[in-house]
Amino acid sequence: MQALKLRIQGQVQGVGYRRWFEQQALDLGLKGYVKNLSSGDVEAVILGSELNVNHMLQLSLAGPAHANVTSIEQTELKLDDAGFADFKMIRD
């Protein structure tokens, strides 16, 4: 089990990035969340198998068609899945 907190930077708001991210995470069976930040970045926490978390990280770099990801800051978290029943998009 691996957990990462991501800060996704670039043109990632107003382009469907959160909805796209949520669908990819659900398809991979990940738990956690994705949300917009007031800075214009997107924050996500992803929890799952190391293989699926790493795959999601790679997908995140590409993003949906209209996004332009310039960088992703990642922090490894010490979490178990007790706090996350599923994956959700947090709306502001």
Choose, from 36, 54, 68, 91, the residue flagged as catalytic: 36
- What is the identity of the amino acid at 65? A
Is residue 19 annotated as a catalytic residue, yes or no? no
Choose, from 18, 19, 54, 91, the residue flagged as catalytic: 18
Structure tokens at 47: 């929890």
Residues forming a β-bridge with 76? 4
Is residue 36 annotated as a catalytic residue, yes or no? yes
Q: For 1-92, where are the E strands, in sequence order?
A: 2-11, 31-36, 42-48, 68-76, 87-90
The closest alpha carbon to 69, from 3, 1, 15, belongs to 15
Q: Which residues are catalytic?
A: 18, 36
